[in-house]
Amino acid sequence: HIVPLFRHSQCSFFTCRHYEYHFIGENKTWKEAQSFCRENYTDLAKVYDMTDMKRLLDSVKNQTEAWIGLYSEPGNKRMWHWSLPGVEHNESEAKWENRDRNDEHCKNCVRMNRDQKWKTSKCHEEKIKFVCYNGENMQLIFLLFCVFCYACSACQHV
């Protein structure tokens, strides 16, 4: 019979994101900003992690606030979604400035300020600048690299 003497498996998981943030210096409502970004880029900005947050802030330059692509549908239970369909929002990504539970029916869009804080705002009334991202190469590239090493002893006859 064959007896494995050594078995080793090593897997590495890499995520590569290829996109750029673009600060747009025009004042628009969240919906107008979303339409503009979808027509000229890919969508309103999305933040994957704190590295993205820094890149996003660098794109905003010295502006105090800008729309990002986070929103919630009006309703009894607040659920946040990214503007880009199929991209889930991770609650641990957010650093909220205001989280007033009483505003669920009127403040359903999110702006980001220079302090990396996110603030809920009225989508259709307020007009501010915004950030788009260019996603021509937006696909997330997932590479899974696994190496399996096996060393087996030779069969011995008794």
Q: In the prediction, which pLDDT does 127 show?
A: 95
Q: In the prediction, which pLDDT does 76 show?
A: 56
Q: In the prediction, which pLDDT does 152 show?
A: 32
CA distances from 22 to 36, 52, 77, 90, 133 (A): 12, 13, 32, 22, 6
In the chain, domain spans? 19-136
Query: H or E stretch including 118?
Result: strand 118-121
Q: In the prediction, which pLDDT does 105 show?
A: 60
DSSP string, 19-35: -EEEEEEEEE-HHHHHH
Give the residues of the chain that fall short of pLDDT 50: 1-16, 137-158
pLDDT tens-place string over residues 41-73? 999 988 776 677 777 777 666 777 899 999 987
Q: In the prediction, which pLDDT does 129 show?
A: 92
Q: Which CATH class is domain 19-136?
A: alpha beta
